[in-house]
């Protein structure tokens, strides 16, 4: 990789720090959801660091900048970790099929209405569930209120980016695993990939349930009302590398090949979205990145860019969203082909 081009990419990221809307996260979140109903913050928050990130090629750290060890909020990047816990449940046989109705596994009334009983795990994973209800004091329409509530449609027919319904997936998975999801993630994924012990996965102050006589917290799938995954960039890069290696870490398979294929398959109603991960179908999301790219993406902007074409994992955090594509373009310009190197040597 070309060192000058890498430095240019880092300078670009550092010069375009997120303005969303300050480093004081309680203030930032409050301002971002001020126009919504039910806009009280009910989960932990943490002030953030500055722009930071790292570039990993062929499994090696090529470049690193800023504080990559600090465990910051990741907002909706949390969703991809939640998706991974669902993948583990499928791999272990705790969920037999993504097309099973969730009501077969969660029998507490959450999925009992004629409308909600149609919802499958697939619908929850690709954000097409259309679930109707209230969870942890937030109605399903709370974070998408535009002055009026649109009518519900059949599950699987419309895509809506919806934090309440993602939190519902976390709750349903808690009922399936019957142990806290952070513990599942730690034991099954984070410890095997050598992640630090600094990361935390939070829920809300009112999201505790009792399972088998033990009180457990149902975690959130993002930081919309606080909570979610607090994690450092180095740990994010390890998670990205696991997906780049298609679920295998140092010869040990942690996620099945079937899950890797399914999680990266576009939704029938949203071609740039898989199972709580962003895709680059037809290069729609980030035109400068290859169409095969996979993104773990959260507000403000937190992103893990997984690029199989170049055997590349890049983490960049707290960069303004509109400048991410140019950053990706600069990173790819740093990738030197072997043929170029041979030509360079021949002229010396």
- Secondary structure class of 180 (helix, strand, coil): coil
Is 209 among the domain residues?
A: no
Domain of 133 in residue numbering reads as 3-203+217-346
CA torsion, points 233, 239, 245, 249, in degrees to nearest 10? 110
Q: Identify whether 17 is part of a domain.
A: yes
Place of tokens 């902007």: 301
**pLDDT on residue 342:** 46
- CATH number where 37 lies: 3.40.710.10
Closest listed residue to residue 311, CA positions, set 258, 231, 246:
246
Residue 303 Rama label (left phi>0; alpha psi -120 to 50; beta): beta
Q: Is 133 left (phi over 0), alpha (psi -120 to 50) or beta?
A: left
pLDDT band of 336, cuts 50, 70, 90:
confident
pLDDT mean over 95-124? 98
3-state secondary structure of 67: coil
Residue 212 falls inside a structural domain: no
In a domain, 330, yes or no: yes
Asked if residue 245 is part of any domain, the answer here is: yes
Side-chain half-sphere exposure of 205, counting CA atoms within 13 A: 8
Nearest to 275 by CA among 83, 121, 98: 83
Q: Among 220, 279, 237, which Cα is nearest to 73's?
A: 220
pLDDT digits (tens, 9 = 90+) for 292-335: 999 999 999 999 999 999 999 999 999 999 999 999 999 999 99
Residue 233 lies in a domain: yes
pTM of the model: 0.95
Q: What is the pLDDT of residues 148-191, one digit of tens each?
A: 678 899 999 999 999 999 999 999 999 999 999 999 999 999 99
Which residue, chain included where needed, has tokens 């034991």? 187
Domain count, the chain: 1
E strand residue ranges, 59-199: 60-65, 72-73, 134-135, 138-139
């Amino acid at each position: 990789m070309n060192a000058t081009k890498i430095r240019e990419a880092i300078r670009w990221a550092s010069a375009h720090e997120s303005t969303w809307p300050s480093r004081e996260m309680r203030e930032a979140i409050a301002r971002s959801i001020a126009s919504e109903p039910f806009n009280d913050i009910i989960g932990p928050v943490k002030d953030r660091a500055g722009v930071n990130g790292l570039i990993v090629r062929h499994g090696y750290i090529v470049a690193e900048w800023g504080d990559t060890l600090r465990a910051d909020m990741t907002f909706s990047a949390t969703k991809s970790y939640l998706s991974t816990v669902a993948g583990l449940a499928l791999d272990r046989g705790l969920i037999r099929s993504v097309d099973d109705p969730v009501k077969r596994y969660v029998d507490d009334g959450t999925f009992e209405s004629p409308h909600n009983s149609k919802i499958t795990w697939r619908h929850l994973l690709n954000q097409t569930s259309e679930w109707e209800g209230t969870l942890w004091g937030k109605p399903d329409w709370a974070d998408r209120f535009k002055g009026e509530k649109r009518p519900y449609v059949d599950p699987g027919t419309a895509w809506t980016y919806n934090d309440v319904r993602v939190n519902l997936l976390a709750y349903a998975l808690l009922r399936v695993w019957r142990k806290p999801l952070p513990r599942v993630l730690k034991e099954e994924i984070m410890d095997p990939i050598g992640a630090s012990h600094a990361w935390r996965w939070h829920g809300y102050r009112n999201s505790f349930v009792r399972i088998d006589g033990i009180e457990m917290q149902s975690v959130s799938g993002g930081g919309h009302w606080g909570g979610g995954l607090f994690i450092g960039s180095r740990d994010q890069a390890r998670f990205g590398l696991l997906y780049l290696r298609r679920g295998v870490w140092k010869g040990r398979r942690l996620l099945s090949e079937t899950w890797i294929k399914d999680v990266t398959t576009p939704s029938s109603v949203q071609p740039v979205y898989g199972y709580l991960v962003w895709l680059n179908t037809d290069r729609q999301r980030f035109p400068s990145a290859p169409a095969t790219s996979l993104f773990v993406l959260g507000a403000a902007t937190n992103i893990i860019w997984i690029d199989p074409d170049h055997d590349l994992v890049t983490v960049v955090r707290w960069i303004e969203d509109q400048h991410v594509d140019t950053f990706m373009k600069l990173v790819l310009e740093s990738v030197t082909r072997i043929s170029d190197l041979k030509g360079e040597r021949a002229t010396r």
